[in-house]
Amino acid sequence: MATATLTKVGNSMAVLLPKALRQEACIEPETPLRIASPRKGVVVITSVLSDDDRLERLETFERRNIERERCARSWPEGATAEDLIAETREERYRAFLAL
């Protein structure tokens, strides 16, 4: 759960949304937002996306997942996480020495 405070901006007040919360909620700059107060002390912020926007975002997400799966390595038989970390460090060290 994230917390935030109101900040004065000109004659208005603003709430800055933390990056982790924006990423979790998939809210990007220029995303239209609906703000409502269903009862005293409660503010609800909801992104307003058209079906076209949702389809475009879904396709982008799908492309990213396909690319990640393509680049992923399978887990070697009998290897531990520590083994893989050590191997990766060794590869990076060799690449550094090759510079």
Closest CA to 47 of 59, 60, 35: 35
Residue 24 and residue 54 in one domain: no
- pLDDT for 11 equals 92
Residue 58 and residue 92 in one domain: yes
Residue 29 and residue 70 in one domain: no
Question: pTM (2 decimals)?
Answer: 0.46
Number of domains in the chain: 2
**CA 58 – CA 55 distance, rounded (Å):** 5
The residues, ordered by sequence, that sit 6+ positions from 32 with a Cβ below 8 Å of its Cβ are 47, 48, 49
Task: State pLDDT tens for residues 22-58.
Answer: 888 878 888 889 999 999 999 998 888 767 777 887 8
Are the beta carbons of 70 and 63 closer than 8 angstroms? no
Query: Could you tell me whether strands 6-9 and 12-15 are parallel, antiparallel, or unpaired per DSSP bridges?
Result: antiparallel
- pLDDT for 55 equals 82
Residue 62 and residue 80 in one domain: yes
Residue 62 and residue 41 in one domain: no
Residue 5 sits in which domain range? 1-48
Report the CATH number at residue 11.
2.10.260.10
State whether residue 55 is helix, strand or coil. helix
